[in-house]
Amino acid sequence: MRKQTFGVGLIGFGIAGRIFHAPLIQATPGLELLAVVSSSPERVHEALPEVEVLPKAAALFARSDIDLVVIASPNETHFPLAKAAMAAGKHLVIDKPFTVSLSEARLLKAEADKAECRVSVFHNRRWDSDFRTLQALIEAGAVGRPVALELRFDRFRPKVADRWREQQKPGSGIWYDLGSHLLDQARTLFGMPRAILLDLMAARDDAQVDDDFHALLDYEDLRVTLRASSLVAEPTPQQALHGTRGSFVKYGRDPQENWLREGRAPTRDWGIDPRPGKLSVDEGEGETVALTSREHAGLPGDYLAYYTGIVESLAEGTPPPVTVEEAIEVMTLLEAGLDSYRQDRWIRLKENNGTLRKLLHRRGA
């Protein structure tokens, strides 16, 4: 008999656990948030008065009513917590990045295979409105064959915050924090690149770790640029896609994060981005180029789809919305990028990658 509701335990109630995971878990049919592991029970009870707070993860793993453990604690704790949870027979959702090293990621995959536990990584930016729109435009061949794509994740945070992400700790810094998002998006669109080149910078006063990066991904017939910075006050295009037929440019981020911070729960009109992108394409024939530019409202964002996919995976045995294999590819790119920065050169990943051209050929673009 199919189980109707899966009990969930959440580890960590910082930004990731409090803003993203807890609200989405509670809004997902088939999931029930039963307990939170946190050292700040008052903060948890203020937001979730009906949920039990536990001081240690071991108490969570020992509970028979917990089917799924969500790890939203600092990056360096992902590996030991995930390993202990799988030893207790729990399924897992791990906040991005998967781990702090590729070797840890591969070890966790081996443990998951052995324990027959379902493990997924929360690469939620696949369900951003702007990314869903970009993906649909590429699949439709809207700009012809893509030749250049820039993805940015800029913010203006001139003061260094007193939090682990900005301290000298394993997996801290903007490359692991935001680079994992942009790498997953590029990999989702085009597969693994042939090579990566990365530059990192600690730009702010008193910065302990990187707060600015510029990465280049080399594909067979496409160059992808990834940028993120903590010192960008003027809005920049979040996406700029250029192809043989035209361009798509989008300003402004998906609204879901801000709505979750405001305490809004997912509703029917959830994820609709009020700032459409602009699609400019060649509508002419012959030697004369006639560009037509128009706003493109795009698809709504849908973070809830991630946890809906988790329920389906637990109930039906289908692959989770983000697989371990995909998360390992992101870890591969994160580490290759660091190798590139340290060695000041391109790091080659694959001798040949025809993913894009084959993809477009199948779609008739």
256 vs 19: CA distance, rounded Å: 10
Structure tokens at 208: 């302990």
β-pairing, 119-122 with 146-154?
A: unpaired
Per-residue pLDDT tens, the chain, 365 aa: give them.
567 899 999 999 999 999 999 999 999 999 999 999 999 999 999 999 999 999 999 999 999 999 999 999 999 999 999 999 999 999 999 999 999 999 999 999 999 999 999 999 999 999 999 999 999 999 999 999 999 999 999 999 999 999 999 999 999 999 999 999 999 999 999 999 999 999 999 999 999 999 999 999 999 999 999 999 999 999 999 999 999 999 999 999 999 999 999 998 887 678 899 899 999 999 876 566 677 888 888 899 999 999 999 999 999 999 999 999 999 999 999 999 999 999 999 999 975 444 444 444 443 44
Determine the pLDDT at residue 352.
45
CATH superfamily of 129-301+331-363: Dihydrodipicolinate Reductase; domain 2 (3.30.360.10)
Helix (H, G, I), strand (E, B) or coil at 52: strand
What is residue 229's DSSP assignment? Answer: E
CATH number, domain 6-122: 3.40.50.720
117 vs 313: CA distance, rounded Å: 11
Determine the pLDDT at residue 248.
97
User: How remote is the C-alpha of 15 from its chain's centroid?
Assistant: 15
288 vs 282: CA distance, rounded Å: 9
Determine the pLDDT at residue 294.
87
Query: Domain coordinates of the chain in residue numbers?
Result: 6-122, 129-301+331-363
Are the beta carbons of 160 and 207 closer than 8 angstroms?
yes
Amino acid at 319: P
> CA triplet 309, 18, 176: central angle to 5 degrees?
75
Helix (H, G, I), strand (E, B) or coil at 308: helix
Determine the pLDDT at residue 351.
57
Determine the pLDDT at residue 353.
44
For 43, phi then psi, to 5°, come to: -65, -40
365 vs 359: CA distance, rounded Å: 9
